[in-house]
């Protein structure tokens, strides 16, 4: 495994860890219902996208001759950036950050959407060539 994918695997694993930690805090330590809701939503999206990164890396491995170099890491980069912006802003809001930080959340959502669209295109291209 090259440096880029190894770093992505580590970041996705750390993201999964943090999703579980924030989800547990939502269930057992949140100060109020709104904070618990924000933490729950953030952890749900974070875990979903941590797993999606691993899924993409598996698809990328299957079609490694077709998806080369850094271009194959655009999808996980979008998912991980979305996690930082979307889930990170929700976590910050749950812990009392100024509400204006909520303006960052949609940019994370856009990263998620772009990642899924690119995944649909790239994974389909690989599957068409492999099957």
User: 98's torsion region: left (phi>0), alpha (psi -120 to 50) or beta?
Assistant: beta
Number of domains in the chain: 1
Q: Is the pLDDT of residue 35 over 80?
A: yes
Q: Which positions ≥6 away from 28 have C-beta within 8 Å?
A: none
Tell me which residue of 76, 64, 66, 85 sits closest to 115, measured CA to CA: 76
The pLDDT value recorded for residue 64 is 67
Under 8 Å between Cβ of 14 and 54: no
Number of residues that this document lists for the chain: 131
Evaluate if residue 41 carries a pLDDT over 70. Answer: yes
Average model confidence (pLDDT) across the chain = 89
At residue 117, the pLDDT reads 94
Q: Which residue has the higher pLDDT, 64 or 92?
A: 92
Cα pseudo-dihedral 36, 80, 118, 68, rounded to 10: -160
pLDDT of residue 1: 47
Tokens of 131: 């099957």
Report pTM. Answer: 0.88
Residue 69: which domain range?
Answer: 3-130
Task: Determine what percent of the chain is predicted with pLDDT higher than 90.
Answer: 70
């Amino acid at each position: 495994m090259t440096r880029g994918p190894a770093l992505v695997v580590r970041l996705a694993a750390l993201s999964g860890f943090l999703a579980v930690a924030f989800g547990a805090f939502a269930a057992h330590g949140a100060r109020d219902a709104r904070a618990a809701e924000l933490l729950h939503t953030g952890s749900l999206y974070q875990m979903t996208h941590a797993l999606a990164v691993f899924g993409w890396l598996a698809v990328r491995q299957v079609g490694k001759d077709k998806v080369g170099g850094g271009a194959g890491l655009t999808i996980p980069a979008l998912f991980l950036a979305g996690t930082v912006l979307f889930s990170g802003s929700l976590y910050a809001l749950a812990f009392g950050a100024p509400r204006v930080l909520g303006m960052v959340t949609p940019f994370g959502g856009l990263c998620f959407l772009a990642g899924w669209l690119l995944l649909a295109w790239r994974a389909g291209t690989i599957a068409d060539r492999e099957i």
